[in-house]
Amino acid sequence: MTPTTTADATRATVQKFLELRLAGDIEGLTALFADKVDWMLAENPGVPWIRPRSSAAECAAQAAELMEYTVPEDARASVDTFLVDGGDAVLMGRLAGTVRATGKSFEGPFALRLTVEGGRITRHHLYENSLSIAEACAP
């Protein structure tokens, strides 16, 4: 199906993003992110995969880093809300995982705001339970 509206194109790009994240396809994610991305994730010095990012490669690498520092078999995410308005999309749900180095688990709600322009993701703002994640990373 060919997207007929901006919202349709945004929804298709976000669905592709989710598929690529699930598959761990870093090359595909790099191609999907714009050359420069407005990346925001609350700074959390105790969490090695949370750091500033702005290039497509840096943004895509976050998926690989997450798999490196957490136990992939324990990762869980569910999306219960997927809203699209033109080039903006908001996903809300819950995520959980286990930090490899400590064996501790984290979980909580999340909201992800993505903006798509020209078929590429230009904004990635993630709001999550950063306290739970920091506690799971602490020795």
pLDDT for res 46:
87
Q: By C-alpha distance, which of 125, 127, 97 is closest to 109?
A: 127
Averaged pLDDT for residues 116-134: 95
- Please tell me the pTM assigned to this model: 0.92
Averaged pLDDT for residues 90-95: 98
Confidence tier at 1 by pLDDT (50, 70, 90): low
User: Mean pLDDT, the chain, as a whole number?
Assistant: 94
Question: What does the block give as tokens for 29?
Answer: 């994610």
Averaged pLDDT for residues 67-86: 95
Neighbours of 23 (CB within 10 A): 11
Averaged pLDDT for residues 20-42: 95
